[in-house]
Amino acid sequence: MNLHSLENQYDNIQDKLIDLYAHFHQNPELSFMEMNTSAKLINELRCLGFEIIDNLGGYSFVGILSNGEGPTLAFRTDMDALPILENTDSAFKSIKKMKDVNGNEQPVMHACGHDLHMSTWVGIAKLMSNNQGNWKGTLVMIAQASEEWGAGARSMIEAGLFKKIPTPSYILAYHNAPNMAAGEIGYKAGAFMSGVKTLELKIKGIGGHGAEPQNTIDPIVMASKLILDFQTIISREIPPTESCVLSIGSIHGGFTHNVIPDEVNLQMTLRFFKSEIADKVIESIKRISNGIAISSGLEASNYPELKIIDTACLPPVENNHEYTLQSVAYLKEIAGVQNVNESEPVMIAEDFSLYSKTTDNIPTTMFWIGNADRDKLKSAHSKGKTLPVLHSPMMYPDYKNCIRHGTVYMSELLIKWFNNLNK
């Protein structure tokens, strides 16, 4: 089996995969609501002879292709889209709207490229099914819902994912990258994406009339001080050699112009690679918050309350060193040395991280695969600009080349791993 052979086989399924991509792009579904997307993918895999195990946490499911004695390898895709109004000139631009889990109507777009992931995933399933004479073992295709909420992987694991499938020797995934040309691969052994903790801080005060502030303890003033003081946690308390981000994304307090409220609420995101660094930041938030409350004259019962939203917290994505570097060696053979480059860790989070955190200690690797048109990317860089990023309403990938390269590269990689582990 060689890349040229898979490239030729891909030509026979390309139109089908592009049609599939167009369907997913025009029919995106929000997190927890991927009913039709899941059904479409299930049908695709059933037609290829995969055994389906569904209801693995929402609309998540797996397809299993048993092909004789050998190792089990898994490949994961996500399925959900974002509440974003698309602003592209795509021939199959999304104009879809749907109600979210709270009943609010939202525009919906695959602005994170999960439609690319799914189309590639189906392409991999097709090529692996068509080439069963070139590998032996069990292939598990994981289709995960609700990645954007960081909830899908956790739900699958809690629903018994690893009790219902053979334990994989290795789990792979990729994420499309708009800052890389289609056909290019980015990798990082070790820390690949950051962990995240979602924090809510309730700042209490004593409300009253805006014309009589002397009779109040103003939580808006306290919040203003805290927002500024929190910035010094990263710059003055965390070693500059450690990567960490604390951002305040929401501040809410009061409801009219002449009333000082009783409380203000902040919502924050904390990104990190080491849990001890995250713990240090959280302790500093508590210390600084209590200090402001004391200096404002509040009693201990009214000190700020910090809440960690456990369901919105994830560990870092940590690519297994040994398996990742072996995969990189294979990919350099497959795609060419010039197309496989080490990337820097990023401060976005991904619940793919959870698959390696079970008691099974399964090795995992996530790669970047470029989605950008090479000429457009080169032109943008020459002007000191970038192409629209992930989660942008203008994100418009070179989908034909991204799906082609992703399908062929990852299929060949899986075949090499099956043969390696069968030695």
Q: What is the pLDDT of residues 172-207, one digit of tens each?
A: 999 999 999 999 999 999 999 999 999 999 999 999
- Average model confidence (pLDDT) across the chain: 97
Is residue 117 a known part of a binding site? no
**C-beta separation of 302 from 204 below 8 A:** yes
The pLDDT score that the predictor gives to residue 252 is 98
CATH architecture label of 3-194+316-421: 3-Layer(aba) Sandwich (3.40)
* Chain region(s) in the chain for CATH 3.40.630.10: 3-194+316-421
pLDDT of residue 423: 80
Given a cut of 90, whether residue 122 has pLDDT beyond it is yes
**For the structural domain made of 197-312, what CATH number should be given?**
3.30.70.360
- In which band, very low, low, confident or very high, does the pLDDT at 272 lie, cut at 50, 70 and 90? very high
Question: What confidence tier does 2 reach under pLDDT thresholds 50, 70, 90?
Answer: low
Was 252 annotated as part of a binding site? Answer: no
Task: Indicate if the pLDDT at residue 71 is higher than 70.
Answer: yes
112 is in an annotated binding site: yes
Domain ranges in the chain with CATH number 3.30.70.360: 197-312
4 known member of a binding site? no
